[in-house]
Amino acid sequence: MIRRVVFAGLLCLGVTAALGWAVLERPMPVENLPERVASAMPESGVEHPITAVLLNFRSYDTLLEIAVLLLAVVVALALREAQPDRPEQMGLDNPLLRAVMAWLLPLMLIVAGFLLWAGAYQPGGAFQAGSVLAAAGVLLRLAGVSAGWLDNAVLVRAGLALGLLTFLGIGMLVMLAGVPFLTYPAAHAGTLILVIELTLTLSIGLTLLSLFRLNPPYADDPDDSRTQEAPKP
């Protein structure tokens, strides 16, 4: 046991030393990336550099992130289908909580819309707006509000794939003009990015809500015999 602890300690020290050496001896960049981004901003279609980098200059990274989120939901759906069907029991049947949600939900929708629109010229965008939409859905579920439309498999799967398919579709559409994949024309870059972010907002919100909703069905039931401790002999 002592040998394992000593070995783990030495391994941690070695990794820490290697990381420190890598940071201290890192090569200097051959070009000034902030200046390069600033010089290309007029062609990006947006006014905020982060949005320009995520959805224009390095849109491949964002495309892969959306694909990973979609893959996570596909795995969650597969795991849920492997569990026995049970009615959902999460939620508090509290009139006061529902009354608060009636006031809070419109405000959250307005905030999500503002974050989506503001992403063109200040911090914000599809991921932030989608997270707020998902939070609104989670609060509704915790309040016991029924979300029967989430049981429509075709509708949910179409919504989950909407953002990724739109991203891919626009990326291939611009290739008709003889430009590389995901290289937006400067004259239409702003409109194309807005369309992508709008669909991504809906898909990201639905993705996060689905990941929350697709927990094992017995986790919502405190009286489930499988969650009870086995009687001691």
Is the pLDDT at 40 greater than 50? The verdict is yes
pTM score: 0.73
The chain-wide mean pLDDT, for the chain, equals: 81
Residue range 49-85, pLDDT digits in tens: 888 888 888 888 889 999 999 998 888 888 777 665 5
The pLDDT value given to residue 110: 92
The pLDDT tens digits of the residues spanning 207-216 come to 998 888 776 5
- What lies within 8 Å, CB to CB, of 44 at 6+ separation is 51, 52, 56, 57, 189
- pLDDT over threshold 60, residue 223: no
The predicted structure's pLDDT at residue 228: 44
- Report domain extents, the chain: 48-213
Interval 76-104: pLDDT, tens: 888 777 665 554 555 566 677 777 888 88
Comparison of pLDDT for 32 and 185, the residue scoring more: 185
Asked whether the predicted pLDDT for residue 204 surpasses 90, the reply is yes
